[in-house]
Amino acid sequence: MKVLMLNGSCNVDGSTRCGLDVMARTFAECGIESEIVNVGNKPVQDCIGCGKCAEKKQCIFSNDGVNEFVQKAYDADGFVFASPVYYAHPSGRIQSFLDRVFFSSMSADRYAAFKHKPGAAVVVARRAGTSASFDVLNKYFGIAKMLVVGSTYWNEFHALTKDDVPQDEEGVQTLENLAWHMAWLIKCLKAGRDAGIPLPDIREEVMTNFVR
Ligand SMILES: Cc1cc2nc3c(=O)[nH]c(=O)nc-3n(C[C@H](O)[C@H](O)[C@H](O)COP(=O)(O)O)c2cc1C
């Protein structure tokens, strides 16, 4: 059982990474493997809405890790999307990255790599903008038939640099509880599958452009 975590900061070793390391340690205590993927500090292409992913079954832009992330997602049992707060929103690079991950995944096979799996957003800021950023990242889960995991507070912690992270004791506790919660849910889902509980009977044939 494995959790795939996305570090949406251009700093591969900054505050965001430090928070994900807290979660990785907790996952390990629970017997759950984890992997951190970095969006990195190179330019990340935004989605251009070309729709070519429907025929190619992957994004046409293949030089920045988006298609590799989707491939890894098929084998993952849970997801954490983490970002620093930039002007009260998630980093532009994580939004560009995830827009292409989810649009190509929807076009390829209706979110098969993500559906019925737990996901959690995590945000870090020096001071403010966390709730707005958290809301943005949570949107990906709802549309992809995923299960949103909570903690003992909204999944946020406060730090200007990674050295500040341990001082935010409640933030660290929130991350640890989030990881415990996700690990427990992953085990429950496996127990359900092993017991033969069928997947939900989801209808997807209706898709309207207007509400009248
Ligand atoms: C361009 C930019 C915008 C930022 N905007 C905010 C903000 O709106 N609110 C805030 O509290 N911190 C803000 N910060 C601070 C970062 O969120 C904070 O330093 C965070 O720990 C960086 O995470 P990282 O080390 O993983 O990159 C901003 C930092 C940068 C570089």
pLDDT digit string, tens, across residues 158-204:
999 999 999 999 999 999 999 999 999 999 999 999 999 999 988 98
Q: Residue 160 CA: which ligand 1 atom is closest? A: 19
Residue 126 CB: number of other CB atoms within 10 A?
13
Q: Report the number of distinct structural domains present in the chain.
A: 1
pLDDT (tens digit, 9 = 90+) per residue, 53-78?
A: 999 999 999 999 999 999 999 999 99
pLDDT of residue 209: 85
Instruction: Establish whether residue 80 lines the binding site of ligand 1, counting it when its CB lies within 6 angstroms of any ligand atom.
Output: no
Inside any domain, residue 128: yes
d(CA 201, CA 50): 31
Q: What is the mean pLDDT of the chain?
A: 97
Residue 110: pLDDT above 80? yes
Name the band, by pLDDT with cuts 50, 70 and 90, for residue 212.
Answer: low
Helices (H) and strands (E) in the chain, counts: 6, 7
Range of the domain at 66: 2-194
Model pLDDT for residues 3-35, shown as the tens digit of each residue:
999 999 999 999 999 999 999 999 999 999 999
What's residue 208's pLDDT? 86
Question: In the predicted model, is pLDDT for residue 85 greater than 80?
Answer: yes
What is the distance between the alpha carbons of residues 206 and 74, in angstroms, rounded to a whole number?
26
Q: How far is the CA of 121 from the centre of ligand 1 (A)?
A: 16
Indicate the top mutation candidate among 10, 85, 87, 164 to test ligand 1's pocket, ranked by most ligand atoms within 8 A of CB: 85
Question: What are the tokens at 136?
Answer: 């943005």
In the chain, % of residues over pLDDT 90: 94
User: Residue 150's domain is classified under what CATH number?
Assistant: 3.40.50.360
| Residue of 86, 127, 160 best suited for mutating to test ligand 1, as the one with most atoms within 8 Å of CB | 86
Q: What is the CA(83)–ligand 1 centre distance, in A? A: 9
Could you tell me if residue 53 is inside a domain?
A: yes
Q: Provide the pLDDT for residue 141.
A: 98
E strand intervals along 50-182 = 78-86, 89-90, 118-125, 147-148, 156-158
Report if residue 207 sits inside a domain.
no
Contact 35, 5 (CB under 8 A): yes
Give domain status of residue 204, yes or no. Answer: no
Does residue 174 belong to any structural domain of this protein?
Answer: yes
The residue behind tokens 């009260």 is: 88
Q: Quick one: CA dihedral 67, 72, 77, 80, positive or negative?
A: negative
Q: Is the pLDDT confidence value at 123 over 70?
A: yes
Measured from the Cβ of residue 22, the count of other Cβ atoms closer than 10 Å reads: 21
pTM above 0.75, yes or no: yes
Query: Do the beta carbons of residue 102 and residue 144 sit within 8 Å?
Result: yes
* Ligand 1 and 159: CB distance under 6 A: yes
SS3 state of residue 126: coil
Q: Does residue 16 fall inside a structural domain?
A: yes
Is 205 a domain residue?
no
Please tell me the predicted confidence (pLDDT) of residue 79: 99
Judge whether 209 lies within some domain: no
